[in-house]
Amino acid sequence: MERKDAPILGIESSCDETAAAILAPDGQILAELVLSQIADHAAFGGVVPEIAARAHLTALDAMVKDALRQAGVGFADLAAIAATAGPGLIGGLLVGTGYAKGAALAAGVPYLAINHLEAHALTARLPSLAAGPVEFPYLLLLLSGGHSQCLAVEGVGKYRLLGATLDDAVGEAFDKTAKLLGLPYPGGPALEALAREGNAKALPLPRPLLHREGCDFSFSGLKTAIAQLLAAEPSGALPRARAADIAASFQASVTDILGDRLNHALAMLPAANAVIVAGGVAANQAIRARLSEVAGEAGKLLIAPPLRLCTDNAVMVAWAAIEHLRQGDLSAFNAPCKPRWPLDSL
């Protein structure tokens, strides 16, 4: 039986974070837990799907029960149980959705299959993150290891794709460049830290699609330029100062590209009430600063989640479920996982 005054359990297992969170119907966070698998994948330089799925399977039950204890509720006290159903790695998605469906059936509460990208898109509306409600429509820049998209968010379940990457995602470009520089996994944060030591104007790197109409992205050419540059370096260990200049120049190129793409996106959605940046790359401080500058010049407020909610988490899954419950949306228990699930197809 649906209970709109009861809390929501959200589960996230789409990639390499196992997460559970419980939110009150007004968005108050009653419990949130995230278990990172960085140590499990570091030796391989990237996420290994089978290892990720097994880690989710090992950790999820204890994590959910710990969240319930923290919130002081049981399964039967919940209004619904939600889980990320895609996009993502199929093994992890099956673990999270299978657990959520089983728990919901046993407790007699509804189940919601949540789109991972939509969860990122709606995070900015979480009441505890903004001074006031972020009203539709708003502009979303979704920047992560798997996604680089610009979307018009016109309502819950209503998304219009304005632009996307033509090749690599921005987070993927960070990780691959970091690997070329010999930096540890995960590469993005390591490259950002190294870039602080370097000269961002040291190297004239390309800025693909700069000033081009629309707001599509391209990063593979930039990554290739870094690879060619490093291939021309003298043999032996790359001096740290040189590596720092390369990292800083790469980050400056990406920052310029994203700022330019945002300018074009703002022209495509002049009615936007705000600009939202979400996804793991939204944690990069240089990128945040540039996007904030561009948004401010257009008279728009840039809203970015706190760092802990930029990467994959279950708070955003539970909040997206609350948004859908308010519209009366529920999912069937036979709703499939979707490793590919474009946001504008909802």
Same-domain pairing of 91 and 141: no
Number of domains in the chain: 2
Residue 128 lies in a domain: no
312 annotated ligand-binding residue: yes
Residue 2 is predicted with a pLDDT of 55
Residue 282: which CATH number?
3.30.420.40
**What pLDDT sits at residue 185?**
86
pLDDT digits (tens, 9 = 90+) for 256-287: 999 999 999 999 999 999 999 998 899 999 99
Instruction: Tell me if 3 is assigned to some domain.
Output: no
Taking the C-alpha atoms of residue 106 and residue 234, their distance in angstroms, rounded to an integer, is 63
CB 64 within 8 A of CB 73: no
Tell me whether residue 144 is annotated as binding. Answer: yes
Contact 115, 156 (CB under 8 A): no
Q: Is 188 labelled as part of a ligand binding site?
A: yes
**Domain of residue 319, residue span:** 8-123+309-345
289 is a domain residue: yes
209: left (phi over 0), alpha (psi -120 to 50) or beta: left
Share of the chain above pLDDT 70, in %: 98
Asked if the structure places residue 130 within a domain, the reply is: no
181 shares a domain with 102: no
Matching residue, tokens 């972020």: 134
Mean per-residue pLDDT, 142-152: 90
Residue 292 has pLDDT above 70, yes or no: yes
Q: 236 labelled as ligand-binding?
A: no
Q: Are residues 222 and 170 in the same domain?
A: yes
Helix (H) or strand (E) holding 273: none
The reply to whether 318 and 302 lie within a common domain is no
Residue type, position 68, single letter: L
Q: Is 284 annotated as a binding residue?
A: yes
pLDDT beyond 70 at 1: no
- What pLDDT is attached to residue 130? 66
Residue range 212-227, pLDDT digits in tens: 999 999 999 999 999 9
What pLDDT, on a 0 to 100 scale, did the predictor assign at position 65? 98
Can you give the pLDDT at residue 344?
Answer: 83
118 and 227 share one domain:
no
Residue at 25 is within a domain: yes
Mark whether 258 and 287 lie in a shared domain. yes
Asked if 172 and 259 sit in the same domain, the reply is yes
Ligand-binding annotation for 143, yes or no, is yes
- The Cα angle at residue 265 between residues 260 and 266, in degrees rounded to 5: 100
* 145 annotated to bind ligand: yes
Answer yes or no: is 155 a known binding residue. Answer: no
pLDDT at 216: 96
Evaluate whether residue 12 is within a structural domain. yes
Backbone angles phi, psi at 285, to 5 degrees: -70, -35
Could you give the CA distance from residue 86 to residue 308 in angstroms, rounded to a whole number? 21
Note whether 27 and 75 are same-domain residues: yes
Q: What is the pLDDT of residue 225?
A: 96
Q: Is residue 161 included in any domain, yes or no?
A: yes
Q: CA neighbours within 13 Å on the CB side: how many for 197?
A: 12
Tell me whether residue 142 is annotated as binding: yes
